[in-house]
Structure 1
Amino acid sequence: MNAYREGKQRLLQAFAAQAPTAARAQRLLKDLAQHTDAALRALWEQAALPAQACLIAVGGYGRGELFPHSDVDVLLLLPSGTDSHMPGPLRESLERFITDCWDHGLEIGSSVRTLDECLEEARKDVTVQTALLEARRLAGPAAVFKRFRAEVQRHVDVPAFLRAKTLEAQQRHTKFEDTPYALEPNCKESPGGLRDLQLLIWIARAAGLGHTWAALAQGGLITALESRHLHRNEATLKLIRCLLHCQAGRREDRLVFDLQAAVAQQLGLQAQGSVRASELLMRRYYWAAKAVTQLNQILLLNLSERIAGGVAPPTVPVNERFLDRGGLIEVVDDGLYQREPQAILETFVLYANVQGLKGLSSRTLRALYNARQVMDARWRADPVNRQQFMAILRAPQGQTHAFRLMNQTSVLGRYLWVFRAIVGQMQHDLFHVYTVDQHILMVLRNVRRFLLPEHAHEYPFCSQLAAQFDDPALLYIGALFHDVAKGRGGDHSQLGAQEVRRFARAHKLSKVDTELVEFLVAKHLRLSQVAQKEDLSDPEVIAAFAAEVGDARHLTALYLLTVADIRGTSPKVWNAWKGKLLEDCYRLTLRHLGGAPVNREAEIEARKQEARQLLALRSALPETEAPLWRTLQLSYFARHEAAELAWHARELWRHIGAPQPVVRARPSPVGEGLQVLVYARDVPDLFARICGYFDGAGFNILDAKIHTSTDGVALDTFQVISSDPATLHRDLVPLVEQKLALALTQTGPLPEPRRARLSRRVKSFPYQPRVSLRPDERAQAWVLSLSASDRAGLLYAIARVLAKHHINLQLAKISTLGERVEDTFLVSGAALQHARQQLQVESELLDALALPA
């Protein structure tokens, strides 16, 4: 009974014993299929099934290939006329056959049908129809199987099948965000994966046009070169999928972080400087997937035209080099790009500018694919091409689609040679979820959306600023180059600034514009750092940043690029609070640049007056604010907006000096989460207990403003958001007010932080914890900066260390970048005045930040 399992294990061990190659992987897939064929035939013979019954391999197994842990899909074809309820002996024989298969280690997926039932199911479900098209006889009369295949083929509605499979592919691509460059791609289902190649063969087989790349080449659907490239890249994908199954010991088609290093090691890949072996593996995968994507477009368009029966769409001349073929750009002849290389970029100028053009025809795609050798250094330096590239950037529309299409067809990387180096470049910084090239194109898209009226509702302030910006092309250039030096080692911002300066000179940008794009690339992280890590209520912080920016044009361009950049890293990184911090920093800096530096006293007085007006609108008694405000220092008023001052006064005027903690919550004014007010006697572990409650209740702290009144009462305000995105925060207000107040009355040792599973990304790419403790500008407090991989309970663990050493918090800036945290605290305490105790604090913080073993 173990013969099948042992035979399969011998095949896998033999494969693992030698260096894996594409050819050896293909041989393994064939051997596994043949080994499975023999086992199934033997069990079929023992089952005593009707003489006219057939055992048929379908689906992937029907192709005569079997991946190590893939399902074994079979059809048990019964003679026509067999009762659907089946007589007892037949049912028993079928059940015994299926049970024997599982007992022998054959994990089959089986269906039992007559021919008529097969045809009916295929008519209703294109997936069933697809599986039947790949049928292969294992046992039973050859004549019965021949009739089965003929009937299945005869009942295929080829145009309907093409439409259904194309829509199915679009749906699948959408699921994977229409990119082969996911950090953990599915080598079977993702765009550019094996399923895209199988799709082509299914359509060709259904149309009777062949079922191998060689046959399609003989039929004129692809060239011999394209056939070789399809075969080579298919072999690469099969090898990777095969290794994934072997490494995981189960069916695993995703190149997950946990397995990337192991697969790379098995392929013999070794780290090259700062580039990991897993990155080399992923680069190999991405290039194969990209080639598959390009060739898939060409062949799918050709198949569609062939199936349409030669009915050509209407063709209208665009100019002497291009035609509009049913909305697709088509070259006038196959040799256009070889003869006139300048026409390559002209293709995308037309795509961006001419209304109604929505893509490239198969003839144009093929011509681009075959013109890669003419896109050389001489082509890049051609003044006409440089003018055309700038024409795309300055087109009134279409930049996003044009640059994405240029990247898909490899034109962008061949024109911007520096861009080619980051195609498929992974980012292991725990908050980017796209490869570098895809992130850059996402940022370009985000900038472009700021200028489109139909997207003005998304970021109204950004749209307002972008509409007034004098030359949007400069923003697009900043987006294209801001991360283009990633992966080189060194400061990618400075290296990128050098690259964009070369680009600007080559493309004859003015000195002023050159300086701007260089500034954008060199400083593209600076606004985010100031807004999220420094005290925006400090006029000196704003003055220093204003001096660094220089003028309103630079500030506006940097703000737009920063918002687009953060939005383009990951759907998890952006939130409304982060947007508010950036906007506040922009507005404060703009006012300073306008010649009106912040007069702190006047600003605070105006803020107080606005708060009084808000209180009056809420029918508060005169002087409602006075009892609270008399106990608070200037820094409190500097760090809170008028609406917050009014809210605090309205909620606390009756509780001044109260012995019990007061907790109030409301939906956050910035639109996400809750704003929580805590008013309680200041004790060393207060902040830790607050963090402990939020941690246990499943809230993430986005920001904390910490204050202590002159009479020793803490007045702290927190911006929090639930870790459950479906949460209705308004409904949580009573619960938070009650439970947090109760938690703050507890005494005794602080509870241990809760343990939670680490994400796979954090486990695979842990971020080295860092702690920095330095005096602030005035040497009156200390700035504590922390960086670490994020996890549940991390802020609480930090707070416990601070409470243990009686370190007081004055300000907390909480910044979560995907699965990495960058937190900054303004702290004070006697322990920080002594070098030995300071080292102890830093050491314990590093232990708190370290990932659990």
Structure 2
Amino acid sequence: MTLPKVPRQRKIVDRRALASAIDAVVADKGADKGRQAVVELLRAALADGRAELQRRLLKRPGAGHEHAHGQAFLIDQLIRVIHDHVILHIYPAANRSSGERIALVAVGGYGRGEMAPYSDVDLAFITPGKPTSWCEQVIEAILYYLWDLGLTVGHSSRSLDEMVRMAKEDLTIRTALLEARFLWGDQAINAEAGRRYRAEVVPGSQATFVQEKLEERNARHRRMGDSRYVVEPNVKDGKGGLRDLQTLYWIGKYLYRVGSAAELVEKGLFTQAEYRTFRRAEGFLLAVRAHLHTIARRGEDRLTFDLQREVAARMNYADRPGKSAVERFMQMYFLQARHVGHLTGVFLAHLEDETTKRGVLAGFVDTVRKGRARTVDGFVVHGGQIAAPSDDWFRQDPLRLIGIFAIAEREGLEIHPNTMRMARRDASRITVDVRRDPRANALFMEVLAGRNDPESVLRWMNEAGVFGRFVPDFGKVNAQMQWDMYHHYTVDEHTIRAIGLLSQIERGTLAGDHPLATDIIPRLAHRRVLYVATLLHDIAKGRGGDHSVLGAEVAQRLCPRLGLDEEETELVAWLVRYHLLMSATAFKRDLSDHKTIIDFVGEVQSLERLRLLTVLTIVDIRAVGPGIWNSWKRQLLSDLYEAAQERLRLGHKTHGRAERVAAKKERVTDLLGDRGHLVAELDDRFDDTYWIAEPEDVIALNLPQYAEARDSQSPLSIKATYYPEFGATLVTVIGADHPGLFFRIAGAINLAGGNIIDARIHTNRVGKAVDNFLVQDPLGKPFSEAQQLARLERSIEDALADRIDMVPSLARRPLKAMRAENFPVRPRVSFDNAASNRFTVVEVMATDRPALLNRLTRAMFEQSLLINSAHIAQYGERAVDTFYVTDLLGTKIHSEARLEKLEAALLAAIAAGEPQAAEAAA
């Protein structure tokens, strides 16, 4: 293997001039005394070479191959100069024996000539036999020079026999030597090493090598998240990254002795077009990796949030309407990762063909003749796979490009990789005529609303490029990243996962996680409406404007083409337009406030819409990513569904307030068992608002705590209880009500390491505060251990007893470096006096930071407001906190001047939590 030609090599490093300068130093000072001067010459050459390569990278930011080869060339030249200096000036040997010979060989990525600025330098020193004393001295001297240059060197020193033995035993060594490239030294030893590797290591081990490489790849994928669409991908080791391309090349070289990826075409493993795809993907990924190393000034292969924006800027991506530069860059990244996945499938299909010693399609056709396979609509089905019977099958009739996926979903079949390759090649045959064909649309609907596994089949369709061709609006969100901390997947992957979840719920496999949706789906009158709405709910992201409104317009246009009637089309458009309504109401509004339910039902209007919207909301949230769905969200959505369903069923004849309270009291009495007498005993303490607002099981915890505090005449009672139903910890504080209670409790919970996710504030008829907080740790998990619960209680007690000076304590608390800082959220405060009959609703959006809730509630206290309830929602880096407030007289805030003053105070409280402000305060 030789390094590809690097343009303008002497601008990177002039080896002859460098060698001459070193000779001059030695002539002037001698080898020993001149060593430091030699190191300085080498350092200057390395720095100048890197600077030149960086200039070239900034000028041509996508030239990944050229930059990688340039880095390898720079290191090559330095190693050659160092080698010659060592054997000429430091350890000269006039008459070397046959054993005093060394071949310097670049291995691994360095051997392949693909280096990033801070890649390891992998070297093998090969000697004919056991290294002599002279060989050891030379090797050691070379390594010391490389270390003095600050290079990270991976090295081995082996005889020819050791090299063969260890390569047979160790897959990593075998792979590294597979890419061996002669650098300098004894060419005869290098040639003998190559001959023995091919003659003694490779023969008979090909199948094992392939199997081990694929197992290694699968293990690496699992370690990296097993998805191409993780939001912070690893460019080198992630799924769809450089290592996947290298694995294909390693296997090709090991089996077919190819010297470059281009030769994979000659061996029939790739078409010329697929090889061009290989080169584009590799070049792009190499360029991204080079920029990562340059920005981080170290070996960094993870494309983290803080680096994505910088790499996008360096690679000249610009903002476009509806899509930022970083989103456009990441979309290109995920498209390249998808190409890598396709190439892997193609390559492995060829390996399978070679293993069977004949083409798979020919084999399929042969099995039909012998009666061992069947045909479905002309496709050949055998061994759980479906295949096209000829290479021009899709060209003959492009409708088959949709039909094969419909058959695969209906019959529960996989599509053979060779046929997937044909589908990808011929996807461009899907023209406007195919898209308008009612037969094609009916087949697509069979896939989308399939009864078996629509998720897998839609993903195959997407990988083949057929999905985006048939539904061009979906093609626009292909590989589109949503650049925030909330969404874990690209838009297309999120959508396909949501459809998969919907299918699983319908089949009853997720009844434990989603009992409500499982119960609703069999009662739907418009099943396929739900599947189409799930497909289209995010279809208009990245276009600028409200994606819900724009998506509804897409639905109005697309649904008739898909075969939906006017009623179904209107339903889909409504669901897409309002697909965020239910989550916004459940998570940001007080569900005990009757006006909340009236407004929500006024928009929903029918039971069928409510059912459809509920299931769509659930799968949308669940498909965002791991850890987003939790029991608290499940409970809130269930509460809203039940309240809305009751009003829709009974209209204005809903149960009266007194009847609802009486029914709840009866259920709480049952829950309390032998302490059920507390319901009647404390009836004069709690008004109807408390009974409507709190769940029965929370009331069943509150009443005994209240009775114990009364009986013991304790002025303050604090109890933290693990609350598994909500996936949180319930913290109840009972004591004399006074202004500022909320912000002190919020600060104390924060100091104890907790985050409040919901709060209900009550003052009973005798002036006692009964405040319930749902609390989680920073990872969204409940506190459940006795020690943790005690710490929460103690922190609140100290805060309310003024044993903690709250503001300085929070200010002194070290602020962790937060990933949210990479996604600055423009603070926003809004007021709504129509959402509640009794309260002004204040909604605050800001970057989620520690103690944000404490600062906001303190600001409201200082503005003389009373908080009745708080609803805290987090969407990745965004915190959206909603407060139901009144003035000290218990009335809404209508004065524009006062609202403006409150807004300024809240914005100032948010700004006080900015990292710069916190540092200044410290």
Q: TM-score, normalised by structure 2?
A: 0.86
Residues 685 and 56 of structure 1, relative CA distance in 2, 3 Å threshold: same
Relative to structure 2, which stretch is displaced further, 747-756 or 142-151?
747-756
2:690 is aligned to: 636
Q: Tell me if the contact between 1:572 and 1:818 (Cα under 8 Å) persists in the aligned partners.
A: no
Aligned residues: 844
Please give the secondary structure, in 2, of the residue aligned with 1:824: strand
Give 1:779 deviation, angstroms: 5.7
C-alpha distance in 2, partners of 1:722/1:494?
36
In the alignment, does 2:146 pair up with 1:101?
yes
| Match in the other structure for 1:284 | 332
Q: Counterparts of 2:781 and 2:313 in 1: how far apart (Å)?
A: 41
CA shift, 1:471, in A, is: 4.7
2:824 maps to a residue whose letter is P
Match status 1:827 vs 2:885 = yes
State the match for 2:509 in structure 1: 454
Number of the residue aligned with 1:846: 907
- Equivalent-residue separation in structure 1 for 2:888 and 2:684 (angstroms): 27
- Tell me which of 155, 163, 182 is aligned to 2:201: 155
Q: Cα 1:483–1:793, aligned 2, differ >3 Å: closer, same or farther?
A: same
Structure 1 pair 51/321, CA: closer, same or farther in 2 (3 Å)?
farther
State how far apart, in whole Å, the 2-side matches of 1:631 and 1:197 are: 71
Q: 1:69–1:249: 8 Å Cα contact kept in structure 2?
A: yes
User: How far did 1:195 drift?
Assistant: 1.6
| 1:56–1:135 contact (8 Å) kept in structure 2 | yes
Gaps of 5+ in 1: none
Shift of 1:522: 1.2
Aligned residue identity for 1:670 = E
* SS at 1:222 equivalent: coil
* Correspondence for 1:60: 109
Given the alignment, which residue of 137, 161, 170 partners 1:125?
Answer: 170
SS in structure 2 of the partner of residue 13 of structure 1: helix
State the one-letter code of the partner of 1:743. A
Query: Bigger CA drift: 318-327 or 430-439?
Result: 318-327
Deviates more, 1:568-577 or 1:14-23: 14-23
**Residue in structure 2 matched with residue 28 of structure 1 by the alignment:** 67
- Give the counterpart letter for 1:207 in structure 2: L
SS at match of 2:262: helix
Change (3 A) 1:372 1:724: closer
CA distance, structure 2, for counterparts of residue 475 and residue 814 of structure 1: 29
Q: Is the contact between residue 486 and residue 624 of structure 2 (CA under 8 Å) also seen in structure 1?
A: yes
Which of the numbers 297, 304, 309 marks the counterpart of 1:256? 304
- Aligned residue number for residue 51 of structure 1: 100
Q: 2:761 matched to 1:706?
A: yes
Note if contact 1:55-1:139 (Cα within 8 Å) is conserved in structure 2.
Answer: yes
Give the partner amino acid of 1:247.
I
* RMSD (Å) for aligned C-alpha atoms: 2.6
Instruction: Measure, in 1, the Cα distance between the counterparts of 2:420 and 2:835.
Output: 59
Please give the alpha-carbon distance, in whole angstroms, between the structure 2 residues aligned to 1:145 and 1:103: 27
Residues 836 and 383 of structure 1: is their aligned pair in 2 closer, same or farther, counting only changes over 3 Å?
closer
Equivalent residue, structure 2, for 1:141: 186
Relative to 1, partners in 2 of residues 1:777 and 1:525: Cα closer, same or farther, differing over 3 Å?
closer
* Aligned ranges 1:8-407 → 2 under 5 Å: 8-17=46-55, 20-21=59-60, 24-45=63-84, 46=86, 48=91, 51-81=100-130, 93-153=138-198, 154-156=200-202, 157-307=205-355, 309-310=357-358, 315=367, 316-319=373-376, 321-324=378-381, 326-355=383-412, 357-362=413-418, 364-407=419-462
User: If you compute each CA radius of gyration, which structure gives the higher value, 1 or 2?
Assistant: 2
Match of 1:424 among 447, 471, 479: 479
Pairwise CA distance, 1:585: 0.6
- Report deviation, 1:193: 1.9
Shift of 1:563: 0.8
Q: Indicate which of 699, 704, 709 corresponds to 1:655.
A: 709
> Which secondary structure state, in structure 1, belongs to the residue aligned with residue 642 of structure 2?
helix
- Work out whether residues 202 and 211 of structure 1, in 8 Å CA contact, stay in contact via their aligned partners in 2: no
Equivalent of 1:696, from 735, 738, 751? Answer: 751
Question: Larger deviation: 114-123 or 202-211?
Answer: 114-123
Match of 2:699 among 637, 645, 651: 645
Q: Indicate the larger mover: 448-457 or 690-699.
A: 448-457
Match of 2:824 among 751, 760, 766: 766
Alignment of 1:658-677 (within 5 A): 658=713, 660-677=715-732
Letter in 2 for 1:829: D
Q: Is the 8 A contact 1:756 1:791 kept in 2?
A: no
Distance 1:56 1:389, change over 3 A: same
Give the C-alpha shift of residue 725 in structure 1.
Answer: 6.3
The Cα shift of 1:706 comes to 0.4
Tell me how far apart the structure 1 counterparts of residues 765 and 127 of structure 2 sit (CA, whole Å): 89
Compute the displacement of 1:839 (Å): 2.7
Q: Counterpart of 1:720 in 2: which secondary structure?
A: strand
Deviation at 1:651, TM superposition (A): 1.5
Provide the C-alpha distance between the structure 1 equivalents of 2:101 and 2:526, rounded to a whole number of angstroms.
76
Structure 2 CA distance, aligned partners of 1:498 and 1:420? 17
Aligned to 2:101, what secondary structure does the other structure show? coil
> Alignment partner of 1:654: what SS?
helix
Which residue identity is paired with 1:651? Q
For residues 845 and 67 of structure 1, do their structure 2 counterparts lie closer, same or farther at Cα, with a shift above 3 Å needed? same
Match of 1:723, SS?
A: coil
The alpha-carbon distance between structure 1 residues 635 and 203, as it changes in their structure 2 partners (threshold 3 A), is: same
Task: Give, in angstroms, the shift of residue 451 of structure 1.
Answer: 1.6
The TM-score, its normalising length taken from structure 1, stands at 0.93
Q: SS where residue 454 of structure 1 aligns? A: coil
Q: How many Å apart are 1:198 and its aligned residue? A: 0.8
User: In the aligned structure 1, how far is the partner of 2:353 from the partner of 2:771?
Assistant: 68
Q: Match of 2:376, SS?
A: coil
Distance in structure 2 (CA, Å) of the matches to 1:448 and 1:812: 35
Counterparts of 1:213 and 1:70, CA distance in 2: 21
In structure 2, the CA distance between the partners of 1:666 and 1:331, relative to structure 1 (3 Å rule), is same
Change (3 A) 1:35 1:254: same
Aligned to 2:25: none
**Is the contact made by 2:763 and 2:770 (CA closer than 8 Å) also made in structure 1?**
yes
Contact 1:450–1:463 (Cα < 8 Å) also in 2: yes
Contact 2:224–2:239 (8 Å) recurs in 1: yes
User: Any conservation in 2 of the 1:570–1:818 contact (CA below 8 Å)?
Assistant: no
* 1:56/1:139 contact within 8 Å kept: yes
The letter for the 2-side match of 1:735 is: R
Out of 457, 469, 477, which is 1:414 matched to? 469
CA contact (8 A) 2:62 2:315 kept: no
Q: 8 Å contact 1:628–1:656 — kept in the other structure? A: no
How has the CA–CA distance of structure 1 residues 727 and 834 changed in structure 2, closer, same or farther, with 3 Å as cutoff?
A: closer
Deviates more, 1:719-728 or 1:69-78: 719-728
- Aligned 8 A contact 2:687 2:765 in 1: yes
